[in-house]
Structure 1
Amino acid sequence: MESKIIETIKNTIYTIPGISSFANYLIDSYDISTDDVSNAVEISKFESIYKIKLHLVLFNGVNIKDVLTEVQSRLKYELERVHEFKQNFIVDVIVDDLK
């Protein structure tokens, strides 16, 4: 299940403008950018609801609120669509850096 979630996140995020890369929340470093989605996603489950925390690096100068709203709505829809609307998802987006 988690591999399907991570694959959906990877395929969806790269279509949204304003995102520089995923952010590795596991390290404390100057450059936290990563291509490894599994280091940028926290997945937890409570009963039948999946909670996704996605860490991102955005381009400097973008409207952060607009990008985050787009990521939340598009990612929630894509995750539920892939799981045939049988699972519920809560998506939290965290901006760890600007490039």
Structure 2
Amino acid sequence: MTNKITQKVYDSIREAVVTVPGVISFVEFNKDENSVEVVKTTDTYKAIEVAYTDGMYRIRIHVMLIVGVNIPDVLIEIQVRVKYELERQSGFSENYLVDVVIDKLESLSV
């Protein structure tokens, strides 16, 4: 996967994130600068920023969480799952730095 992120990688990230309890959805990171609206998305291309620098992939994932979750635990769980899955897919030959951005906390209506 050197210097190339494939659809399979985006799919792996999506699968790792949606299985973490407390995550409601992905959030678009590339919205209008003047907008304060948080936009949910299922399109991982709109919610995941990828950069390759210094021989390392830097992944930034934008999410919306449920109000009341233990935020540090959810963030760590996302980071661990995504990092492990990507390293496993690359045969542990690539390095990854995973950041998670919480764009919004939302209550679930009953």
Band the TM-score falls in, shorter-chain normalisation: over 0.9
What root-mean-square deviation, in Å, do the aligned CA atoms of Structure 1 and Structure 2 show?
1.2
Is the radius of gyration larger for structure 1 or structure 2?
A: 2
Instruction: Say whether residues 1:83 and 2:90 are aligned partners.
Output: yes
Counterpart in 2 of 1:7?
Answer: 11
Q: Report if the CA contact (8 A) 2:38-2:103 is conserved.
A: no
Are residue 22 (structure 1) and residue 29 (structure 2) matched? no
Mapped to 1, the partners of 2:51 and 2:102 lie a distance apart of: 19
How much does 1:41 deviate? 0.5
Q: Secondary structure at the match of 2:29?
A: coil
**Is 2:49 the partner of 1:45?**
no
Q: Which residue of the other structure, out of 87, 103, 109, is the alignment partner of 1:96? A: 103
Q: What's the TM-score once normalised by structure 2's chain length?
A: 0.84
Segments of structure 2 that go 5 or more residues without pairing to the other structure are none
User: How high is the TM-score relative to the length of structure 1?
Assistant: 0.92
Inter-partner Cα distance in structure 1 for 2:38 and 2:56: 32
Output the CA distance in 2 between the equivalents of 1:8 and 1:63.
Answer: 24
CA distance in 2, matches of 1:95, 1:67: 10
Deviation of residue 25 (structure 1)? 1.1
Runs of 4 or more consecutive aligned structure 1 residues displaced over 4 Å after TM superposition: none
Aligned residues: 99
Matched, 1:35 2:30: no
Identity in percent: 38
